[in-house]
Chains A and B, each alone.
Chain A
Amino acid sequence: MKVLRALVLGTGLLMLTACQRQSALAPAGEEAARVALLSWILFAGAAVIFAVVLVALGFAIAGPERIRRWLRAEAAIRLWGIAFPAVTLAVLLGYGLWLMRETVANPRQPEMRVEVTGEQFWWRVTYDGPAGKPVAEANEIRIPVGVEVEFVLRSADVIHSFWVPSLGGKLDMIPGRTNRMWLKAERPGIYRGQCAEYCGTAHAQMALEIVAMPQPEFDAWLAAADSPPAPAGEAVERGAALFLASGCGACHAVRGTPAAGAIGPDLSRMGGRRFLAAATVPNTTENLARFIVEPAALKPGSLMPPFAILSGEERQAIANYLASLK
Chain B
Amino acid sequence: MTASDSHAPDEAAGLPSALPRPEGERERLEAVWRSPRGWRVITEVNNTVIGYFYIATAFLFFLLAGILGLLIRLQLAVPGNDFLSPQTYNQIFTMHGTVMMFLFAVPAVEAVGILLLPQMLGARDLPFPRLGAFAFWAYFVGGLVFFCTLFFGTAPDGGWFMYPPLTGERFSPGIGADWWLLGIGFIEISAIAGAIEIIVGVLRTRAPGMTLTKMPIFAWTLLIFAGMIVFAFPAVILATILLELERAFGWPFFIAEKGGDPLLWQHLFWFFGHPEVYIIFLPAAGMVSMIVPTMARVPLVGYRLIVVALIAVGFFSFGLWVHHMFTTGIPARSLGFFSAASMAVAIPSGIQVFAWIATIAAGRLRITVPSLFVIGFLIIFTLGGLTGVMVAMVPFDRQAHDSYFVVAHLHYVLFGGMVFPLFAAIYYWAPAFSRRPLSERLGRWSFGLIFLGFNIAFLPMHVTGLIGMPRRVYTYPAGMGWETLNLVSTLGAFMLAAGILVFLVDVISNIRLTTAEPAGNVWDAGSLEWLPNHAFGTRSIPRIDSREPLWDRPSLVREVEAGAHYLPRTATGGRETIVTSPVEAEPQYVMRLTGPGYAHFAAAVFTAGFFLLLTVKAVVLAGLCGIGAIVAIMRWMWECDQAPVGEIDIGGGVRLPSYASGSMSHSWWAMVVLMLVAAALYLSYLFGYLYLWTVAPQVWPGREQLSALPALLVPMVLLIVSGLLLEASRRLLDGGGGRRGIIAVLLLLGAIALVGALGVDILQHWRAGLRPQTSGYAAMVYANAALQAQIAGAVLLSAGFAAARLATGRVDRIRRVVFDNLALLWAYSLGQAAFGLALTHGFPRLVAT
Contact = CB atoms under 8 A, between A and B. Distances in A.
Given A177-B256, A201-B90, A204-B476, A23 B302 contact: no
A53 B343 contact: no
Given A57-B375, A92-B393, A82 B351 contact: yes
B389 A60 contact: no
Nearest to B261: A176
A307 B320 CA distance: 50
A243 interface: no
Contacts of A100: 332, 335-336, 394-395
A199 B336 contact: no
Interface stretch (B355-363, B531-539, B661-669): B355-363
B301 A103 contact: no
Interface string A46-74: 10011001101101110100011101111
A289 B305 CA distance: 69
Contacts of B365: 60-61
Interface in B474-490: 474-477, 480-482
A77 interface: yes
A21 B305 CA distance: 48
A195 B355 CA distance: 43
Nearest to B405: A24
Interface stretch (A109-117, A138-146, A164-172, A209-217): A164-172
Contacts of B466: 23-25, 39, 165
A49 B470 contact: no
B623 interface: no
Interface stretch (B40-48, B213-221, B379-387): B379-387
Contacts of B257: 175-176
Contacts of A56: 354, 357
A199 to B, nearest CB: 6
A77 B86 contact: no
B302 A74 contact: yes
Contact of A82 (B350, B393, B396, B397): B350
B402 to A, nearest CB: 4
A202 to B, nearest CB: 7
Nearest to B400: A24
Given A21-B480, A74-B358, A81-B353, A194 B347 contact: no
B360 A57 contact: yes
B468 A158 contact: no
B327 A85 contact: no
A304 interface: no
B445 interface: no
A205 B79 CA distance: 12
A163 B86 CA distance: 21
B473 A19 contact: no
Interface residues of A, number: 89
Contact of B327 (A46, A99, A172): A172
A120 B232 CA distance: 33
Contacts of B359: 72
Contact of A202 (B86, B343, B361): B86
B500 interface: no
A159 to B, nearest CB: 6
Given A77-B351, A82-B347, A60 B361 contact: yes
A221 interface: no
A200 interface: yes
B750 interface: no
A73 B544 CA distance: 27
A54 B383 CA distance: 11
A182 to B, nearest CB: 12
B467 interface: yes
A82 B686 CA distance: 36
Contacts of B473: 194, 203-204
Contacts of A163: 402, 470
Given A68-B361, A89-B347, A158-B165, A18 B481 contact: yes
B387 A46 contact: yes
A19 B471 contact: no
A54 B328 contact: no
A75 B159 CA distance: 45
A61 B662 CA distance: 51
B830 interface: no
Interface string B709-732: 000000000000000000000000
A77 B332 contact: no
Nearest to A279: B477
22 contacts: A24-B466, A42-B393, A74-B305, A77-B351, A80-B350, A82-B347, A84-B350, A89-B347, A93-B339, A158-B165, A159-B163, A163-B402, A168-B398, A169-B398, A170-B399, A170-B402, A175-B256, A176-B262, A192-B468, A198-B166, A199-B166, A205-B475
Q: Which 8 A-B pairs have the closest CB atoms?
A: A176-B256, A169-B398, A19-B481, A22-B468, A204-B473, A179-B329, A81-B354, A105-B332
Interface of A: 15, 18-19, 21-26, 32, 34-35, 38-39, 42, 46, 49-50, 53-54, 56-57, 59-61, 63, 67-69, 71-74, 76-78, 80-82, 84-86, 89, 92-93, 95-97, 99-101, 103-105, 120, 153, 157-159, 161, 163, 165, 168-172, 174-177, 179-180, 192, 194-205, 280, 300-301
